[in-house]
Amino acid sequence: MRVLVLGGDGFCGWPTALHLSQAGHDVTIADNLSRRFIDVELEVESLTPIRPVHERLAAWREHTGKEIRFVNLDLAREYDRVLGVLLESRPDAVVHFAEQRAAPYSMRSAKTKRYTVDNNVTGTHNLLAAIVETGLDIAVVHLGTMGVYGYGWSGSAPIPEGYLTVHVPTPEGQLEREILHPANPGSVYHMTKTLDQLLFAFYAKNDGVRVTDLHQGIVWGTQTPETAIDERLINRFDYDGDFGTVLNRFIMQAAIGHPLTVHGTGGQTRAFIHIRDTVRCIELALDDPPVRGEQVSVFNQVTETYQVRALAELVSRMTGVEIVYLPNPRKEAAENDLNVTRDRFLALGLNPTTLSEGLLEETREIGVKYASRADFSKIVAKTVWSAGMEVSPDLMR
């Protein structure tokens, strides 16, 4: 099928584009390179030496004979060009990764809060309005987040895949209703994904746009079979306090001998998925879109859940690096359980990469191999959720 990957130069987008191209799909990447600009702004680089997008694409062509087209496009700012790209490339599906995806970055300042809302919400709405304007039946697969649900809201009840069955008291007894799971976002970033959900629901209802929303856990790992073919194809690995995801940060900290930084008690339980499974899930979702007129199809894109503290202990045991407990810059419960339903992707045949399989390989092949590229001043998370909260000092220079 013809697939347009919005945000196809980013951490999830790039390996997805390669995976879909390898699987025989006709892939076009659209990206405004915003993630690379933010690296410049934050004065940090991917631990892995990612190459410019055209060099990446040339290396892919050289190894596979497959062509991936690239369009430099700002989804939120260039509506007319978005419309033009859709009309010209007539994709069967759009995979939408074109959002600012770091919770800490979204909380740095009024400027980054505003950028995150504007980029993510305007971008998603532009995509939907443009699809309707084209009159084409283009399916959308969007990367959401487990964070739309919040944590600890539903007690021992497992978090369902998007929709929650509730009973509403009425004068005569009670009604049973299936509702979009109540939103309880923990940052401006997560909030934008809760807004996206309402945009999708409206355009599915009013215009029959076919949307799949994937509520993904925290991604770890770096390489997929495709990005590992040539070093020029390598995926990005973020370790800094704003964009680094928790497990990758532990892996990199262990590799350079930096204490493993746990915020608060580490009692937060989170859901995880390896980047190799992310790309498979996207492909499975593309193969199984909703029917026109149906409600938005929601999958929980997670494979395992761990307490942050337990992850740190695992990495510490494996590597001998100590754990430090720092103040929590987020406003969240100190401890939470997490029980996530994840039946839909398993039913479609996903065979997950588990932490126990992938962790050592990741530490060796990424953390240790590229350790010399680390900037120690970027490791400790500095962004706090509101003014006056304690900021942790750097632990190593």
Alpha helices in 43-149 (DSSP H): 53-64, 79-89, 103-106, 110-117, 123-134
**Which listed range, 65-73, 191-199, 235-243, 354-362, lies at the site for a second copy (CB under 8 A)?**
191-199
Among the listed residues 44, 141, 180, 311, the single contact to a second copy using CB under 8 A: 180
Contacts of 169 (CB under 8 A, 6+ apart): none
Which CA distances in Å does 98 have to 10, 26, 32, 239? Answer: 8, 19, 9, 21
The CA R_g of the chain, rounded to the nearest whole Å, is: 21
168 contributes a contact to a second copy by CB under 8 A: yes
Distance in angstroms (rounded) separating the CA atoms of residues 290 and 163: 15
Location of structure tokens 């919040």: 150
167 contributes a contact to a second copy by CB under 8 A: yes
Among the listed residues 23, 195, 324, 333, the single contact to a second copy using CB under 8 A: 195
By CB under 8 A, what part of segment 37-96 binds a second copy? Answer: 79, 83
Contacts of 14 (CB under 8 A, 6+ apart): 8, 56, 227, 235, 236
DSSP structure string for 131-147: HHHHT---EEEEEEEGG
The nearer residue to a second copy, 10 or 147, going by C-beta atoms, is 147
Catalytic residue among 79, 151, 193, 278, which? 193
110 contributes a contact to a second copy by CB under 8 A: yes
Distance in angstroms (rounded) separating the CA atoms of residues 92 and 112: 33
Among the listed residues 172, 317, 372, 390, the single contact to a second copy using CB under 8 A: 172
Catalytic residue among 105, 189, 203, 370, which? 189
The nearer residue to a second copy, 36 or 193, going by C-beta atoms, is 193
Active site residue 193: yes
**Which listed range, 201-209, 277-285, 291-299, 311-319, lies at the site for a second copy (CB under 8 A)?**
201-209
Distance in angstroms (rounded) separating the CA atoms of residues 165 and 200: 20
Write out the residues near a second copy by the rule CB under 8 A. 79, 83, 110, 113-114, 117-118, 121-122, 125-126, 129-130, 132-133, 135, 153-157, 164-172, 174-175, 177, 179-180, 182-183, 185, 188, 191, 194-195, 198-199, 201-202, 205-207, 331, 385-387
